[in-house]
C-alpha cells in the first residue's frame, strides 16, 4: 500500500499535514476512543496525511503508540508513531521495529523521549541505551536489509520500509544550547533521518533560522513545522518550563492572557494564530505542518488548513505577529531588519561570553590528555605498552582499580569501560547526563539547565561546548559520531580498552576495519 504521508511530504506541490493524538493512560478509556474517532474523521475528511501518536508524553505511562498506530492504519489513514529511546534497551528497540514493520506501521518520529517521572509504586528506572542517532542508523540498516552474524556466516533480513524522521529545537536561549542542537541535527540527518520536525515554539525568526540552516548546510530533507493550538493554561505551564522543550515567552503569555478575556475565552484567536503559523511556514518553504493541541476536533484542523492556505499568499505580512524572542536569546544568523527574519550571515560567535564557567578540573584533564591519550605524544607509547602487558594478566585488577578511583573522584565514573570522556570535553555522559546522550543534547534543556535538574545542573553539552570554546575548539562536537556504549566492556579498564583498540575509539588508533568490527575478545 502506498505511504500517503511519505508521498505528501516528498511532493513539492503538497503541503503535508499531520495531526497529533495523545493515547493517554489505560486501554479502553475515553482518550483512546476519542483518538480512534479522530482517526475516522480524518480518514473521511481527506486533508490530513497522517496522525501522529505520542509515546508516554511528560514521562508518564500511557498506551504504547504502536498498538494505536495499528488500529489507526485499519481506519484508512497513516499513523506517524513517536519512537522514543527511553524505557527500553537496544534489543527491545529492534524487536519493536520488527513488530511495527510486520504490522505495516512505517512512519516514525525518532526522539530521545521525556525522562520518566511516574509509574507503578514510584518513579521507574530510566533506560536510555541508545540515542536518536544510533536508532536512526539501526532503522537505515533495517531498510537496507539488516545483516548480523549467524551460525553459518552473515544473515541478511528482508528490507523494511520505514520512513523515519527526527526532532530538533531551534528555540534555545543561549549559544551553547543552540549550537549543540544543530551539531546533533547534522548527525541525525547523516544517520538516516528522512525528515525533521522542530520542537514547540512561536518565534517566526527561529522557524526561519532552522530551515535556513538546513538549506545552507545541504541537509536536503523535508522539514515539518510544529503548530500547537495554544490556550492560556497550557501556555502558562510551558512558560514555567514544566513541559521540557516547549517555549512560551512572557510576551506571548501576556497576549494570551489578554485574549482569554473575550467571550469565547480566546478560542477564535487560538485557531487563527495556528492558521497564520501554517501560512508563514508554507511561505518559508516548510514541506508540511504538524498540528497539536488538547481536545482538538477535526473541523478545527480543517479550518487551520483552509485558512492557512488563504493567508499564505501574504505570509510575510503576518511575521510581526510572531515576534516572540527569548530574553537576550542567541540566533545563529544575523537579523534581516527589512523582513524581521535572518540574513545568510552567521552571527559572530568568537568573543561572545561563555555560557558557563570552565572548571580547573578540565584544564588539568586537557594537560593529562595531551600527554597520555594523543598518539605519538609524550607518554602515549608507554601507556599503550603497559596496557597491553597487563591486559588479561593478574596486574589488570589493580591497574583498573587505580584508574577507576581517579575517575570517580574527578568525573563520577560509572565504570562503563567504553569511555566517552575525551569525546565530550571530559564531561561524562554516562554519569552526568540523566539520559546518557553520547552524541549531543536532548531537546529539553532550558536556559542552559538540564531538563531533569533545572536550576541545579547545567546540561553536560552546555558545559562541554563552553569548555571547548574556551580553547577555540567547540566545533569538535560537530566532527564525529560516538558509538553506543559496548556493555561487554562494563567494569573493565577503559584505559586498557582504549590503548588496545577494544572501545569505540579504535578508529583514532588506526585499527583496520576488520579489527574494529571484530568482537572485543578478538582485538586483544
Residue 188: DSSP 8-state: H
How far the first Cα of the chain sits from its last, in Å, is 49
Q: Which residue has the cell 509504586?
A: 121
String of b and e for 35-63 (b: at least 16 CB within 10 Å)? bbebbebbbeeeebbbbbbbbbbebebbb
53, β-bridge pairs: 21, 81
- pLDDT on residue 509: 65
Instruction: Measure the CA–CA gap between 110 and 124, rounded to whole angstroms.
Output: 22
168 alpha carbon, distance to own chain's centre:
6
Instruction: Measure the CA–CA gap between 519 and 524, rounded to whole angstroms.
Output: 10
Instruction: Render each residue's pLDDT in the chain as its tens digit; 524 residues.
Output: 799 999 999 999 999 999 999 888 888 898 899 999 999 999 999 999 999 999 988 888 888 889 999 999 999 999 999 999 999 999 999 999 999 999 999 999 999 999 999 999 999 999 999 999 999 999 999 999 999 888 888 999 999 999 999 999 999 999 999 999 999 999 999 999 999 999 999 999 999 999 999 999 999 999 999 999 999 999 999 999 999 999 999 999 999 999 999 999 999 999 999 999 999 999 999 999 999 999 899 999 999 999 999 999 999 999 999 999 999 999 999 999 999 999 999 999 999 999 999 999 999 999 999 999 998 888 999 999 999 999 999 999 999 999 999 999 999 999 999 999 999 999 999 999 999 999 999 999 999 999 999 999 999 999 999 999 999 999 999 988 999 999 999 999 999 999 999 999 877 666 534 344 444 433 33
- Contact between 142 and 111 under an 8 Å Cβ cutoff? The reply is no
- pLDDT on residue 510: 67
Other CB atoms within 10 A of residue 122 CB: 7
Q: CA gyration radius for the chain?
A: 24
Tell whether the torsion through CA atoms of 485, 491, 495 and 499 is positive or negative: negative
- pLDDT on residue 524: 35
Each domain of the chain, given as residue ranges in start order, spans 4-344, 360-523
- pLDDT on residue 46: 94
Nearest partner of 461 among 445, 473, 472, judged by Cα: 445
- pLDDT on residue 63: 87
Continuous segment of H or E residues that includes residue 4: helix 4-10
Nearest partner of 416 among 313, 350, 483, 494, judged by Cα: 494
CATH architecture group of domain 4-344: Alpha-Beta Barrel (3.20)
Instruction: Measure the CA–CA gap between 5 and 50, rounded to whole angstroms.
Output: 6
Nearest partner of 221 among 278, 179, 164, judged by Cα: 164
Residue 453: DSSP 8-state: S
- pLDDT on residue 520: 40
Continuous segment of H or E residues that includes residue 154: strand 153-156
Q: Which distant-in-sequence residues (6+ apart) come within 8 Å of 210 by Cβ?
A: 168, 170, 196, 198, 223
Strand-by-strand arrangement of the 50-53 sheet: 196-198, 163-168, 107-111, 78-84, 50-53, 16-21, 288-292, 224-228
- pLDDT on residue 109: 98
- Contact between 388 and 500 under an 8 Å Cβ cutoff? The reply is yes
Residue 228: DSSP 8-state: E
Nearest partner of 162 among 259, 281, 80, judged by Cα: 80
287 alpha carbon, distance to own chain's centre:
20
Give the 3-state secondary structure of residue 17: strand
Length of the chain: 524
pTM of the full predicted structure? 0.94
Q: Which distant-in-sequence residues (6+ apart) come within 8 Å of 61 by Cβ?
A: 25, 118, 119, 120
Other CB atoms within 10 A of residue 32 CB: 21
209, β-bridge pairs: none
How many CA within 13 A on the CB side of residue 120? 3
Amino acid at each position: 500500500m502506498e505511504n500517503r504521508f511519505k508521498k505528501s511530504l516528498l511532493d513539492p506541490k503538497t503541503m503535508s499535514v499531520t495531526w497529533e493524538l495523545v493515547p493517554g493512560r489505560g486501554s479502553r478509556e475515553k482518550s483512546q476512543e476519542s483518538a480512534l474517532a479522530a482517526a475516522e474523521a480524518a480518514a473521511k475528511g481527506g486533508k490530513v496525511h497522517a496522525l501522529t501518536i505520542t509515546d508516554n508524553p511528560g514521562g508518564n505511562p500511557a498506551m504504547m503508540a504502536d498498538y494505536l498506530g495499528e488500529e489507526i492504519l485499519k481506519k484508512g489513514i497513516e499513523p506517524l508513531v513517536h519512537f522514543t529511546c527511553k524505557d527500553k534497551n537496544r534489543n527491545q528497540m529492534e524487536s519493536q521495529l520488527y513488530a511495527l514493520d510486520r504490522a505495516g506501521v512505517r512512519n516514525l518520529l525518532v526522539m530521545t523521549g521525556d525522562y520518566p517521572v511516574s509509574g507503578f509504586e514510584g518513579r521507574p528506572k530510566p533506560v536510555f541505551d541508545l540515542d536518536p542517532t544510533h536508532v536512526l542508523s539501526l532503522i537505515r540498516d533495517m531498510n537496507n536489509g539488516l545483516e548480523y552474524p549467524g551460525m553459518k556466516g552473515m544473515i541478511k533480513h528482508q528490507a523494511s520500509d520505514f520512513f523515519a524522521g527526527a526532532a530538533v529545537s531551534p528555540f534555545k536561549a543561549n549559544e551553547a544550547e543552540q549550537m549543540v542542537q544543530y551539531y546533533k541535527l547534522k548527525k541525525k540527518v547523516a544517520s538516516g533521518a528522512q525528515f525533521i520536525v522542530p520542537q514547540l515554539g512561536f518565534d517566526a525568526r527561529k522557524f526561519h533560522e532552522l530551515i535556513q540552516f538546513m538549506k545552507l548546510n545541504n541537509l536536503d530533507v523535508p522539514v515539518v513545522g510544529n503548530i500547537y493550538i495554544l490556550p492560556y493554561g497550557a501556555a502558562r505551564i510551558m512558560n514555567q518550563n514544566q513541559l521540557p522543550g516547549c517555549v512560551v515567552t512572557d510576551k506571548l503569555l501576556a497576549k494570551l492572557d489578554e485574549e482569554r478575556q473575550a467571550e469565547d475565552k480566546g478560542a477564535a484567536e487560538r485557531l487563527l494564530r495556528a492558521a497564520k503559523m501554517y501560512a508563514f511556514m508554507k511561505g518559508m518553504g516548510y514541506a508540511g505542518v504538524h498540528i497539536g493541541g488538547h481536545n482538538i476536533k477535526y473541523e478545527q484542523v480543517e479550518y487551520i488548513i483552509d485558512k492557512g492556505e488563504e493567508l499564505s499568499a501574504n505570509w510575510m505580512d503576518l511575521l510581526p505577529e510572531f515576534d516572540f524572542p527569548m530574553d537576550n536569546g542567541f540566533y545563529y544568523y544575523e537579523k534581516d531588519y527589512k523582513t524581521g527574519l535572518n540574513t545568510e550571515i552567521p552571527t559572530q560567535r568568537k568573543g561572545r561570553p561563555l555560557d558557563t564557567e570552565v572548571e580547573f578540573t578540565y584544564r588539568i584533564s586537557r594537560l593529562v590528555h595531551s600527554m597520555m591519550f594523543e598518539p605519538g605524544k609524550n607518554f602515549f607509547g608507554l601507556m599503550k605498552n603497559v596496557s597491553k602487558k597487563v591486559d588479561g594478566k593478574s596486574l589488570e585488577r589493580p591497574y583498573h582499580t587505580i584508574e577507576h578511583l581517579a575517575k570517580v573522584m574527578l568525573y563520577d565514573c560509572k565504570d562503563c569501560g567504553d569511555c566517552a570522556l575525551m569525546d565530550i570535553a571530559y564531561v561524562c555522559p554516562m554519569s552526568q547526563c540523566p539520559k546518557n546522550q553520547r552524541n549531543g543534547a536532548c531537546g529539553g534543556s532550558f536556559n542552559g539547565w538540564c531538563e531533569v535538574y533545572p536550576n541545579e545542573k547545567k546540561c553536560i553539552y552546555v558545559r562541554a561546548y563552553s569548555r571547548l570554546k574556551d580553547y577555540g575548539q567547540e566545533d569538535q562536537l560537530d566532527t564525529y559520531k560516538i558509538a553506543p556504549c559496548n556493555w561487554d566492556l562494563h567494569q573493565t579498564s577503559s584505559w586498557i580498552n582504549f590503548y588496545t583498540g577494544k572501545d569505540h575509539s579504535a578508529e583514532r588508533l588506526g585499527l583496520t576495519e576488520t579489527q574494529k568490527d571484530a568482537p572485543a575478545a578478538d582485538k586483544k
